[in-house]
Structure 1
């Protein structure tokens, strides 16, 4: 199994540590569930993992530094959880930006540029203002049906003297009796509660220092406040993050949100908002930077005019909302919006994307999972001068040639994903890719490609190239020689190359760190050891024969090594860096021996004398067995005759019948003889 996608279900509980046993998995997506507890360290054992998405769960604790060892990881997302502590920016985690971590109020450090110092002490008057908050916290119990039956709320108490800062799901600014800054009340409603819940927001009045509030994964369909009404959130002047995702809130929630002017992150994913995207209703949120409206029932057109008041907005998520059109607005130039997700909607024509012309600062755009089938439908993209990342995966493109002159994509592109289309590119289609001289990552997985042009050599900045699961064929060495020399990640799994496995064309690719190949035969060349920076080498499930070159032990950077399921033979060179790999790297090679598979390369033969004696003994046993077999058969035969004779000598009805039948048979034979003689 190479991929596991369990996203958008209702999975709950902890991520099992046994997940680390899925050694061959390359893509793991557990996003948009109800998973709790911390991220298990065992995930760091999945050295082939290329994509890890744990976003939109309720995971807490720190991010394990061991994840930095996942050198194959190309996509990493733990956004919108309850993670805390300093982000371990080292190893391969250096390659991911702040988008991988947003929605975790208590994470700090790079790349989110948030100091890890403790919250500063508040003024004395603020402490007095919030002093009653510890006592009033017990009021939440009255809002929750059977609070002590709800999971993860065992520490909550009705005792007014109880320190709520010690309760689970509550974080304060200091260890004892400080200000409440974070309430994680996700999944507080038990699954047995089928009726919709109206949430009384009045309990928030005692927490003016609140910075993060999470009410996701509940059955809330209505908000009310008998004291302040729609202005309930107005008192929370320091509230930065509000998560109301996975509830049943409709448009009636919008007047309450209008008062939350200090918000920077608002998550309304998977509710029942309807109609035109409610950006005008949120016009007072002038500090808003992240807005998530994914999985709502928005319809019709989306006008960028609604973004005018949200002048700090940087990330807008409109995935799976039913939007069919992005309207343009003359004279409007948005200068803050950097990331826009429009995947899994129903876009198919160029006119539907007209409004993207106003988003002049856009750097990341996702149009995956739509219905584009021709470059004319995305021609607006070529006029977006700062676009760096473009996702067009899972559409219906068959080629990229187009009927218009000029480029298809903006020259600023650095990351392009075209996986899961129906591409069988012509020379013109390839030329539109080869023109992207700034391209760093190119994903062409799961298409129908049969060849690659030499113009790819011109992409001198290309570091990642994934061509898995296509129909590429021809001589492997010739194919590899036509690839960019600066590649660091190359996957050729699931193709149909011919020719023996010749690595000479790759020896000079000193920057290569990950190489994956399937369906090849020949031997593993010794000069592969010249690629000193190689970190991942996957040659499993091929037809490779010969020995494992001892020179591989010199690859000190190698973190993933897999030659399983081949026809390799001989002793494994278990020395140098190869001692770090276990038997799983070699399984499926019947003629390999030595460590770590614990199979002897020199079986001890039995002494000749004892062997001959053993053979004579076995032969002697065979003769004795046959003699006894003959004696037994004879005894049975004689005994049967004697018993039959004795039976016939007795004068009985049965014996007389027997002799009568015999006489009758003799009589018939006699008549037969007389007739023919």
Structure 2
């Protein structure tokens, strides 16, 4: 027997290596995607013909059996033990003892210690995955000696030291002419992005640099990576404008530049990539008007768009909503968009839109009724705008936990959980104010304080909007008192000589 494949069989318990020690000719051993527990016994080293060991995606633990185990199998080319609970240091001589390694996948465990520098001796290594562990220190400057490297994944470790030389090893990677994926995100790399990054393999398709301590600007030259379809630079301290040659990256599909200090109006350089489906520019200092129409119109395959927390202006374009039929997540909050929310937002019904955030802008007008029809919508945030009128009460508006409308003081109605004043109460309040003003005038006439001539005893006509304005949107600052049947607010009628009035708002449920 030369191969055993028990992948994805819901196996449990420990690995019976002792019972397999007689399989001297076993070359391939697949046990991945099971529920195996315990340690790998050192007797694994008796499988002297083993070439590929695939024990990934289990619940295995302990130290990898090295000295008396795996290190005895000098012919082995693949060690895949990712996504378990292994821990400990890697032996410093791993590359010397296992020179034939082509794939070393240790990601998703609890390994720690420094990068094993001897790994560069395994010159045929194509895939090196150390992600999601606790490795630390500097990456060897000669890592590029692994000239056949296709994938290097060091994400989510403690590599680097927040210093300027942390990425010096990048220059050696220019020797790796077939490098496809370079993942360095979420470590402690500091300094600038090296200019030599532009000279990496033209086969590069994915580049992850997010979640570090990088500063400075993006160097020119990224446009050389014509095959790049994924780029993450998020959560650093990068600044400046987007380089012009980003416009050459026409195969981009997934871009994250969020949580940096980028500025300027050069967002359009990203939008030559008509295949772009995920774009996150949030929490920067980008600016510009009508970005939806003028800049993002070409990106009609967008499924996820987040440009929140910037300085964009203009309207929310009806044409943009009509043409972007793939949008599922749209975040435009914390900008300076203005105008009415268009009825074309109902076009999103064809998109299976799931999340829509338009908060903290300068939007006006009523809530479009079309929003009630978006049955796939699970989150809606319209808070802190200047939206007015009656709140719908069907669709997403029937679930208070899925929407936020606070900070829109001209809204009324909606389900009780939203705690907005009902339209009925506001009408009653207006009528009560009408009555109080009339009564006050009558009393003054009787007491002789009014010399109003006969025929001028017209009652005041007060609209809801004037009533709303008079009480500053029924704000807590204008609240005089409250009782069992409602609350009393003070107000000033600007159109009637700044007349001071009291407004009683009745709670019909208690009358």
Sort the TM-score into its range (normalised by shorter chain).
0.5 to 0.7
| Partner Cα distance (2:212, 2:169) in 1 | 15
Residue 174 (structure 2) pairs with residue 382 (structure 1): yes
* Residue 443 of structure 1: how far off its partner (Å): 0.3
In structure 1, what is the equivalent of residue 502 of structure 2? none
Residue 304 (structure 2) pairs with residue 514 (structure 1): yes
Contact kept in structure 1, 2:42 and 2:65, CA below 8 Å: no
| DSSP-derived class of the 1:450 partner | strand
| Partner Cα distance (1:289, 1:517) in 2 | 42
* Residue 232 of structure 1: how far off its partner (Å): 3.0
* Residue 534 of structure 1: how far off its partner (Å): 3.6
What are the residue-to-residue correspondences of 1:215-614 with 2, within 5 Å? 231-234=18-21, 240-241=30-31, 253-256=41-44, 258-259=46-47, 264-266=53-55, 270-273=61-64, 279-283=70-74, 290-292=80-82, 295-299=86-90, 301-308=92-99, 313=103, 315-317=105-107, 320-327=111-118, 333-334=123-124, 337-341=126-130, 344-348=134-138, 350-351=140-141, 353=143, 356-357=146-147, 360=148, 362-366=150-154, 369=157, 370-371=159-160, 373-393=165-185, 394-401=187-194, 407-426=198-217, 430-451=219-240, 452-474=242-264, 478-486=265-273, 487-503=276-292, 504-519=294-309, 520=311, 521-535=313-327, 536-555=329-348, 556-566=350-360, 567-575=362-370, 579-580=374-375, 584-589=379-384, 591-592=387-388, 593-596=390-393, 597=397, 599-600=412-413, 603=423, 605-606=427-428, 612-613=434-435
What are the residue-to-residue correspondences of 1:201-220 with 2, within 5 Å? none
Give the TM-score normalised by the residue count of structure 1. Answer: 0.48
Distance 1:482 1:609, change over 3 A: closer
* Residue 440 of structure 1: how far off its partner (Å): 0.5
* Residue 350 of structure 1: how far off its partner (Å): 4.0
| Partner Cα distance (1:309, 1:377) in 2 | 23
Give the TM-score normalised by the residue count of structure 2. Answer: 0.62
* Residue 541 of structure 1: how far off its partner (Å): 4.0
How large is the RMSD of aligned CA atoms in angstroms?
4.4
Contact kept in structure 1, 2:202 and 2:227, CA below 8 Å: yes
| DSSP-derived class of the 2:369 partner | coil
Contact kept in structure 1, 2:115 and 2:139, CA below 8 Å: no
Contact kept in structure 2, 1:431 and 1:455, CA below 8 Å: yes
Larger radius of gyration: 1
Contact kept in structure 2, 1:366 and 1:392, CA below 8 Å: yes
* Residue 321 of structure 1: how far off its partner (Å): 3.3
* Residue 507 of structure 1: how far off its partner (Å): 1.6
| DSSP-derived class of the 1:483 partner | helix
**Does 1 or 2 have the higher relative contact order (CA < 8 Å, sep 6+)?**
2
| DSSP-derived class of the 2:190 partner | coil
| Partner Cα distance (1:104, 1:543) in 2 | 57
Aligned residues: 389
Deviations 1:355-409 (A, max 9, x none): 533xx1533433553117354323232222222111112232322335xx79542
In structure 1, what is the equivalent of residue 460 of structure 2? none
| Partner Cα distance (1:583, 1:419) in 2 | 28
In structure 1, what is the equivalent of residue 463 of structure 2? none
Contact kept in structure 1, 2:352 and 2:376, CA below 8 Å: no
Contact kept in structure 2, 1:254 and 1:281, CA below 8 Å: no
* Residue 450 of structure 1: how far off its partner (Å): 1.9
| Partner Cα distance (1:104, 1:580) in 2 | 43
Deviations 1:558-581 (A, max 9, x none): 523413533433322233895225
In structure 2, what is the equivalent of residue 184 of structure 1? 12
| Partner Cα distance (1:378, 1:255) in 2 | 39
